[in-house]
Chains A and B, each alone.
Chain A
């Protein structure tokens, strides 16, 4: 039970808003000590796993490209493009992206998206621009739209990728079941990802339509 003290550190640390790097390090130290590891072993485990997981940092390579494009006017261009589409609203635009993200992920194309590659340079500015056609955005409205843009990217990929038979999570399921003497085919697993994918699209799509109504109400209040 004592090893759960690290989880408690995480919860308290995140809730009171300490720097997450610090919270995570203290949580690791507390957990390791509670399990009877010595500090040098904990430090080594941290260093080893940090280096072993450098592949998640490779995505930062895209920032120089995005930077050049933003410097030259990419966001302004995205806004101009959306400004001319009169049917575009923030919610509808994000709904369209949800559909594209889910269906491409279902075909195994999970890299056709991402927070740094798609959301920051393209999706978020376009969604903001759709709402900006009705006048300048109050800051918290702009923030809400951006958070929704990030959420659509996550929900789309999570509830699309499992339909693809060669995705990591299905291979993991197959391996875990095989360890326990049960043989399954990835195709049988991927079929059962479809109902949840459809439900995720419906429920989050409905929430995006409600976002449009909420945005319209906010506009009414200001006017």
Chain B
């Protein structure tokens, strides 16, 4: 069975190749730092499942120290010139879009088609992870198509991949770091404290007040935890069910559906949701870390207000 482990090894090998490129980049005086950072990240992908938790923790700590004090520097880039790119754009025309579209196409088709495939009595791919495995297959298919159509030099994917990952830099590991922080929050009982804060500060004398507390609490909790999935069980068990449903006789279906969407409004406004709000800042090379959140915040607030109004009308 093809599981996530093989995709992790592939990803680890890619990061290992970036580490080696940094190691041999004599033009970068800080090449050891970049090589060690990407090397440690590669090890967590390749060997993370077999190493003891504390060793993985030490690898993560090493990455934090390498990136956190002094930072990573991009390596030397030998990319194409603007003239070469214009020339390529004219020569290949809209064929250039084909490999880019192969990735989502294969991901979607693979997700739908591979789920039920049984080989020798066992599923061919792990049914729970079929989307991520299909994404990896999509990348390999897109690379094959790109080589067939565009015939770039053999080293181009890893060299250009390293140029892009240097632009993303430490932000590449931030979503996983925040998930790790979330785990520490759970161990430490942060959720219960936030939920009790919400219930104790808002006067719950009417159904409307309870709805406001629940929806705003979902958004705030999500801003703190970076994830509406972490907020939902705590807020629903702490505020939603005891007050809105049991005390004021509200409908749990509409409450939950709109509560989750209120959490998503919080996701639009928090740097803790790094893969949505911080990673694109790095990917798009924006100088302001808050640039994406600034654009999204107003929409998030307006949708939250809409959810509250709608919930007060339909839940009771």
Query: Which A residues are closer than 8 A to B by beta carbons?
Result: 1, 3-4, 6-7, 10, 14, 17-22, 24-25, 27-28, 31-32, 34-35, 37, 40, 42-78, 80-81, 109, 111-113, 115-122, 124, 143-144, 146-151, 153-155, 158-159, 162, 168-170, 172-173, 176-177, 180, 182, 184, 188-193, 195-196, 199-200, 203-204, 207
Contacts and interface: CB of A to CB of B under 8 A. Distances in A.
B100 A65 contact: yes
Interface string B245-276: 10000001110111011001001100110111
Contacts of A154: 267-268, 276-277, 292, 296
B204 interface: no
Contacts of A182: 241, 245, 252
Given A65-B142, A73-B86, A55 B299 contact: no
A49 B182 contact: yes
A81 B187 contact: no
Contacts of B150: 68-69, 72
A37 B280 CA distance: 34
Given A37-B188, A151-B295, A56 B14 contact: no
Given A77-B92, A177-B256, A119 B53 contact: no
Contacts, number: 417
A21 B176 CA distance: 10
B132 A58 contact: yes
Contacts of B286: 143, 146-147
Interface stretch (B23-31, B116-124, B302-310): B302-310
Contact of A77 (B82, B89, B303): B89
Nearest first, the 9 A-B pairs at minimum CB distance are A67-B160, A47-B57, A47-B56, A22-B68, A73-B88, A35-B188, A73-B89, A64-B161, A49-B183
B146 A68 contact: yes
Contacts of A64: 14, 139, 143, 157-158, 160-161
B53 to A, nearest CB: 4
Contact of A24 (B44, B92, B103, B174): B174
B280 A25 contact: no
Interface in B181-215: 181-185, 187-190, 193-194
A72 B277 contact: no
Interface string B36-50: 000001001100110
B181 A58 contact: no
A103 to B, nearest CB: 14
B114 interface: no
B127 interface: no
B236 A176 contact: yes
A109 B109 CA distance: 10
Given A24-B181, A66-B100, 16 more contacts: A25-B61, A25-B64, A46-B180, A46-B181, A55-B132, A63-B168, A68-B160, A69-B100, A72-B96, A117-B100, A147-B294, A149-B284, A154-B267, A154-B268, A159-B303, A173-B232
